[in-house]
């Protein structure tokens, strides 16, 4: 997030980094997980973890 904020200031889109920081930290929408989909979330996360664990040695 820091690089886009610095770019906005350097391009003159924002006056300074503190203004950018205030814009970034504003929360306009909070999303909550749907408990009815818990099983699907768990399955997807398990697949992600298997994939991550299999490719992690490459990094």
The token pair that represents 27 in the structure block: 């929360």
pLDDT per residue as tens digits for the range 2-45: 899 999 999 999 999 999 888 888 778 889 999 999 999 999 99
What residue spans define the domains of the chain? Answer: 1-25
Q: What is the pLDDT of residue 46?
A: 98
Closest-CA residue to 10 (of 53, 35, 20, 42): 20
Closest-CA residue to 1 (of 23, 32, 16): 23
Check: pTM over 0.95? Answer yes or no.
Answer: no
SS3 55: helix
């Amino acid at each position: 997030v820091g690089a886009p904020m610095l770019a906005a200031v350097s391009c003159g889109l924002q006056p300074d980094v503190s203004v950018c920081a205030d814009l970034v930290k504003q929360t306009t929408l909070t999303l909550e997980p749907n408990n009815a989909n818990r099983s699907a979330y768990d399955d997807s996360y398990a697949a992600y973890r298997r994939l991550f664990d299999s490719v992690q040695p490459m990094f």
